[in-house]
Structure 1
Amino acid sequence: MKQTWKNGLPTAPDYFPIGVWLQSPENASRYGAAGINLYVALWQGPTEKQLTALKAAKMRVICEQNAVGLTHKDDPIIAAWMHGDEPDNAQAVTDPVTGKKGWGPCVPPAKIVADYQKLRATDPTRPILLNLGQGVANDDWKGRGAGAKLSDYETYVQGGDIVSFDVYPAANNLPLGLVAKGVDRLVGWTGGKTRIWNCLECTRIDGKTKATPRQVRNETWRAIIHGSRGLIYFVHQFQPKFNEHALLDDPEMLASVTATNKQIRELAAVINSPRGKRRTQNGVEMLVVEHQGANYIFAAATGDTTVTAELDPCGKIEVLGEGRTVSGSDTFAPNDVHLYRITG
């Protein structure tokens, strides 16, 4: 994870990448105001018009290595190259005889690694982002196609310098803990040597269940507690009516996401510290980090009941962003997240 690239993402310890998936550059300034600092993927791009708009908004991008992108190899607006999306899922196919559309197997892991090596050879100055599907975390997912197996991921993860995945549990009535589980698995499969990111839900997506702001905040911090070092918001809604930028039209969710992003930016140097230790206490997951003479605890509830968790037996503990202090322990309702600083 210590590798750096001449034209890659910032390496400052107080930088944390917060991206948004496949959005029109015309909304880049609005996303920037919400604390998002990175575009991930461009529709049928990059094009010159898209890159010009992103430059004007000072929004860096991860995009495909197409002909236009390669003419901008020395352009800092491009922070990394995109290595497709969800190659581990069943791929769309068309029967050459009947024209009937269907689903074939996933992309072979070895092909992803070979293609990654070609992308790196074309431009070794930027990292490659590989985004995988929910099969990383959801063992019941049937969308990987015939012949797919969990061990495939041990090879897939060799196909990127940054490896991400997407699972949207609230929208699909699945446990929120799948986000943390997926991060754990990617960290394990890469031996902790590759930077791990994850995608986050924040809209209705397909018209069914919609995550609440509290659930999104819980997913976000549990991902960070488990080792995610980059976030990508999925903000589309497909049903009942298509909306590419549904987050921007949801005042309550937008305010919550903006507040969370602000805290992440403020605590980025702490999050990026290599000295964090994770523990679980009474249904609360915690990451304890020492940074510049203070101890920080990032804590998130995992259960469906209100619990009390022991934090630190010594002195008063500041609850960041909540205007209160606690002594020794704190109470967690379902989906609660509390962030603490302990000094002295």
Structure 2
Amino acid sequence: MKQTWKNGLPSSPDYFPIGVWLQSPQNASRYTAAGINLYVALWQGPTEKQLAALKAAKMRVVCEQNAVGLAHKDDPIIAAWMHGDEPDNAQAVTDPVTGKKGWGPCVPPQKIVDDYKRLREKDPTRPILLNLGQGVANDAWKGRGAGAKLSDYETYVQGGDIISFDIYPAANNLPLGLVPKGVDRLAGWTGGKKHIWNCLECTRIDGKSKATPKQVRSETWRAIIHGSRGLIYFVHQFQPKFNEHALLDDPEMLASVTATNKQIQELAAVINSPNGKRTEQGGVELLTVEHAGGLTIFAAATGEKTVRVAVAKTGKVEVLGEGRMLKATNEGAAGQALFYDTFAPEDVHIYRVTVR
């Protein structure tokens, strides 16, 4: 799906947006080193100081359309406008009589659409990002408030040009498959007419379970295989001790995320190609892309058992980033070559086939 904006994100096919959620601009250079090329949301901003710091770091930003932001409509540092966060969740309310705090219903879907139109009127040169909550994928989620229903999302998705959602399954002991499920649902609700992004976990968040680097890599590539074309890392930790940039203080996770981001950027033109075909085989989902005279196969395990997968392709097979080569054998129908590989739970392998 091609759609460009005069002052929006780069439209080059070798660009893939990789963002980080609500971070201090003072750490922009450290995130750049980790392969992140976009800030998403600014605390109580944008302010002039925040924008100046991001410009100095050459880090583009998705931010609110406040007075400072609108004063910078001609500034390319602003790549898109932020249209709130998780309006589909129950919203905090305060009883005007007792002052007691509680939770009310979610924001009405039509209000999001109406507000989107007003944002577009003020600046039609940039896309608007709407980030939704885990109810996109998790039907058991109780946090949407009274009266909410799944069909609300068909209206919500009309309230943005880039539609994202967040779910952190490992931190909440949920199946990792909810990540690709949410991507599929957003693609369906938008009819393939809008850009679909998703948020990724990489910290402990609230002191419960924490995703492993392998799980984060699995979530990342399964989202991409299902059609996500933008990622936003959630890097906060709230418990047992607050840390706004917990990813930067976790050497193992940071190294893994950095390596994955590097690989995504190297393969961005392939990922963005319209020639991809998604299939599933025995507990592994695959995205096969013909691009620039070659074949690239992205493959991710979906189950909890070790499986062996045969991929019918002819040619020399390199497993990218693993230093392995695979041999194709003529065992397929009508002499079609097959190469085999083994997938343990949460494994991801990426193959480049040099076609004979």
Normalising to structure 2: TM-score of the pair?
Answer: 0.96
Tell whether the 8 Å contact from 2:218 to 2:347 is kept in structure 1 after alignment: yes
Tell whether the 8 Å contact from 2:197 to 2:228 is kept in structure 1 after alignment: yes
Give the deviation of 1:56 after TM superposition.
0.6
Question: Aligned match of 2:342 in 288, 311, 331?
Answer: 331
Distance 1:315 1:19 in 2: 36
- What does 1:190-229 correspond to in 2, within 5 Å? 190-229=190-229
Tell me if 1:175 matches 2:175: yes
Give the deviation of 1:311 after TM superposition.
1.4
Residue aligning to 1:21: 21
Distance 1:313 1:287 in 2: 13
Residue aligning to 1:148: 148
Residue aligning to 1:49: 49
Q: Amino acid of the residue matched to residue 337 of structure 1?
A: V
Q: Rate the CA distance shift 1:334–1:92 in 2: closer, same or farther, 3 A.
A: same
Tell me if 1:301 matches 2:312: no
- What does 1:260-299 correspond to in 2, within 5 Å? 260-299=260-299
More deviation, 275-284/306-315 = 306-315
Task: Tell me the secondary structure at the aligned position of residue 341 of structure 2.
Answer: strand
Distance 1:162 1:264 in 2: 19
Tell whether the 8 Å contact from 2:313 to 2:353 is kept in structure 1 after alignment: no
Give the deviation of 1:312 after TM superposition.
2.2
Distance 2:61 2:246 in 1: 20
**Identity of paired residues, percent?**
85
Tell me if 1:129 matches 2:140: no
CA RMSD of aligned residues (A): 0.6
Give the deviation of 1:313 after TM superposition.
4.5
- Stretches (4+) displaced over 3 A: none
Q: Amino acid of the residue matched to residue 145 of structure 2?
A: G
Distance 2:315 2:341 in 1: 13
Output one character per residue of 1:208-236: Cα deviation in whole Å (capped at 9) or x when no partner.
10000000000000000000000000000
Task: Tell me the secondary structure at the aligned position of residue 298 of structure 2.
Answer: strand
Give the deviation of 1:3 after TM superposition.
1.9
Residue aligning to 1:255: 255
Give the deviation of 1:329 after TM superposition.
1.1
Q: Rate the CA distance shift 1:58–1:313 in 2: closer, same or farther, 3 A.
A: closer
Residue aligning to 2:333: none
Residue aligning to 2:353: 342
More deviation, 317-326/253-262 = 317-326
Task: Tell me the secondary structure at the aligned position of residue 263 of structure 2.
Answer: helix
- What does 1:52-91 correspond to in 2, within 5 Å? 52-91=52-91
Task: Tell me the secondary structure at the aligned position of residue 238 of structure 1.
Answer: strand
Tell whether the 8 Å contact from 2:19 to 2:40 is kept in structure 1 after alignment: yes
Output one character per residue of 1:235-283: Cα deviation in whole Å (capped at 9) or x when no partner.
0000000000000000000000000000000000000000100001110
Distance 1:15 1:4 in 2: 13
Distance 2:225 2:25 in 1: 31
Give the deviation of 1:325 after TM superposition.
1.0
Task: Tell me the secondary structure at the aligned position of residue 187 of structure 1.
Answer: helix
Residue aligning to 2:234: 234
- What does 1:30-49 correspond to in 2, within 5 Å? 30-49=30-49
Distance 1:181 1:55 in 2: 36
Task: Tell me the secondary structure at the aligned position of residue 191 of structure 1.
Answer: coil
Q: Amino acid of the residue matched to residue 345 of structure 2?
A: P
Give the deviation of 1:305 after TM superposition.
1.3
